[in-house]
Amino acid sequence: AQSVAQPEDQVNVAEGNPLTVKCTYSVSGNPYLFWYVQYPNRGLQFLLKYITGDNLVKGSYGFEAEFNKSQTSFHLKKPSALVSDSALYFCAVSYGGYQKVTFGTGTKLQVIP
Amino acid sequence: NAGVMQNPRHLVRRRGQEARLRCSPMKGHSHVYWYRQLPEEGLKFMVYLQKENIIDESGMPKERFSAEFPKEGPSILRIQQVVRGDSAAYFCASSPSNGEAFFGQGTRLTVV
């Protein structure tokens, strides 16, 4: 079964510092990997995806993620955090296509002014 | 092109009543997914539908829950005889046949 793990419930980072939100996935075929962000009382917004190709994927709002096959990881990164980046971030995986995406439990990112 | 539309945004039901949640996918999207988000938890997959077909309902509770995506009209998630434990945010997403999913803003169901 496909699964994804987000080991940190919460990440705190000072404004202007680089941020990393961690994600690992279970191995089965060629995964499609996604990051979504959820602001309070809102739905999920798509940030970026990895399907194939370059391991470094660039997405919305200055975020990027690096696919690492040997470590089965897909960590989300941003060089300089903004207070407005504070939100709940979900890593997600699907196999063999876009259908039935499985989400991680989410990581709350708190950017401290 | 409007995004995924869910209504109502907020729904309050008494225990034992029925809840009907509606989802209109984005134009051109033929795939619909329903997820449930319990307080302080992540999203749990419930069901994946295409027009008039349930493709995967492995995340649906065996009783009281049902979903449909008719040929015309929105997708409906129906919860019969609601209980307090059904209180959650229910998110719908849609996608084209080969593309990432886009989410609606969710319906927050409160059972009193």
Quick check: B90 and B13 in contact, CB under 8 A?
no
Mean per-residue pLDDT, A27-36: 84
Q: Is the pLDDT of residue A58 over 60?
A: yes
**CA atoms of B30 and B75, how far apart (whole Å):** 11
Give the CA count within 13 Å in the CB-facing half-sphere of A81: 21
Which of A74-78, A82-86, A101-105, B19-23 bottoms out in mean pLDDT, i.e. has the lowest? A101-105
Chain mean position to CA A65: 7
Binary contact (A46, B101; C-beta < 8 A): yes
Mean pLDDT across chain B: 92
Q: What number of helices (H) and strands (E) belong to chain B?
A: 0, 11
Average pLDDT value for chain A: 90
The answer to whether residue B104 neighbours chain A at the CB level (below 8 Å) is yes
Quick: pLDDT tens for B28-82: 898 999 999 987 777 888 999 998 899 999 899 999 999 999 988 999 999 999 9
Question: Percent of chain B beyond pLDDT 90?
Answer: 72
d(C-alpha B10, C-alpha A21), whole Å: 31
Rounded Cα–Cα distance for residues B52 and A112 (Å) = 48
For chain A, counts of helices (H) and of strands (E): 0, 12
Which pLDDT score, from 0 to 100, does residue A40 have?
81
pLDDT band at residue A27 using 50, 70 and 90 as cut-offs? low
Confidence of residue B1 (pLDDT cuts 50, 70, 90): low
Of A46, A97, A103, the CB nearest to B102: A46
Per cent of chain B over pLDDT 70 is 98
Backbone angles phi, psi at B86, to 5 degrees: -80, -10
B38, B100, B109: best to mutate for the A interface, most A CBs within 10 A: B100
SS3 of A102, please?
strand
